[in-house]
Amino acid sequence: MVLNPNVFRAYDIRGLYPAELNEDFFYDLAKGFCSYLLENKKYFFLRRPKIVVGQDLRASSSFLADAFIDGVLDFGFDIVDIGSATTPMSVYAVHTLNCVGGAIVTASHNARDYNGIKFLDKSCRYIGGEEFLEFFNRIKSKNNYKSKRGKYKETDISFSYLDFLTRGLKLKRKLKIVVDASGGVAGLFLNNFLKKMKVDYIPLFFESDPFFEKHNPNPLLLESQFFVKEKIKETGADFGVIFDGDADRIVFVDEKSDCIRGDAAGGIVADSFLKKGDALVRDIVSTMSLEEHFEKKGVKNIISSVGRFYMRKAMEKNKAVFGSEMSGHYYFKKLHYSESAFLTLRLVLEALDKNPSLQISDLAKPFLKYFHSDEIFFPLVSSDAWPSILEKIKKQYQTGRQSFGDGIKVEYEDWWFVLRPSNTEPVVRLCVEATNQNLFEEKKKEIFKLLL
């Protein structure tokens, strides 16, 4: 297999199996990961280094995980194999089991033909961006840490993890919810999790579906939301949720079968536990109503570029308790600045429990008062087209407040927009928000003309 450098993404390694990544690649990648960790010698002390490895339920994941494990063992590090696990569970395992790093074999929400791997260091920080270039060099060197093969151990971390997530929970309100596991790894643990919370639930696709034949594992797609929406209509459930393939994202559907935009769902979560003096990080495309709402409550608002790397960096810098992305990623300081879709669900249930006369749509309403486009994709003629588009936008909207942390954001008193290029494909993403519908439609059409 000819190695494709494009599989080294901003936050993980991901590509088509077996065309772009296969077992030989994962074996070499394991040695590269160990070499990378070995440079951080402060992690190792006098004990033998050990690495957590987990995997999702994709058809190819077990083959790739086995190859990766062999590479780690041959390098001389020990393995703690937690088997099928959610990505947040793997983060928990690295910390709880005192490992020097972790790896989860998953392609998250990508379609069935993809697979990949996410890496964690000892501090539970995802390793990404330019650091993957380090991996690239390590793969070529294939140096060994010790001549003696490492030791292998299997550990089930799930009971400890679910106990941690449900500790101290006491719900009085009787709620019925629809839960769609997307045929992914969440389905292995949801029965136990939901029973611990004593919630009445209607399960959808909890059974393993390695090829995602029931629906795509991306919960933001309308086709993926169809089954939950129909089941809510059929049963009169209070709300529904959809997990992605590795359960680090969650999407909410209200009692009317309307999808709740991710930033509004983040507002519900933040409102459930943030207090005066806390800090909240939200991504650059989230509604301005979040800032307005939480500033009144004395909660500090910080805007971050989109993506796990930037969200964590902003949260650590500002000691933020919670981070929210419109994509359905929700980050918690108590979980080492990592996501947890399960914890997010618990907090929404607690929010409804504290407000027995309200539905989930009522809790979302304060964060949906403005007109927001979500992200709209526009194809580029080529990846080189972005600089000229950026200059055109800067000139056209020079009277607005411009910032350039993630593409360009232009802000006016009663509307704003973000235009940002993709890191992986020749497209730009546009997001527009305005205080009234006429202005929203006018500005959206205006920008469309510039881009088309």
The verdict on whether 108 is a catalytic residue reads yes
Cα(343)–Cα(164) distance, rounded to whole angstroms? 10
Q: What DSSP string runs through 151-183?
A: PEEE---HHHHHHHHHTT----S--EEEEE-TT
My answer on whether omega of the bond before 210 falls inside 30° of 0, hence cis, is no
Which residue, chain included where needed, has tokens 């993403």?
429
Q: Is 88 helix (H, G, I), strand (E, B) or coil?
A: helix
Instruction: Walk across the sheet containing 338-339 and list its strands.
Output: 300-304, 279-283, 322-324, 330-332, 338-339
Q: Tokens in use for 7?
A: 């599989």
Query: Could you give the CA distance from residue 166 to residue 185 in angstroms, rounded to a whole number?
Result: 19
Catalytic residue among 61, 108, 304, 338: 108
Phi–psi pair at 378, nearest 5 degrees: -125, 125
What is the rounded CA–CA span in Å between residue 211 and residue 315? 35
d(CA 432, CA 413): 13
Distance CA 290, CA 287 (A): 6
Would you name the residues annotated as active-site residues? 108
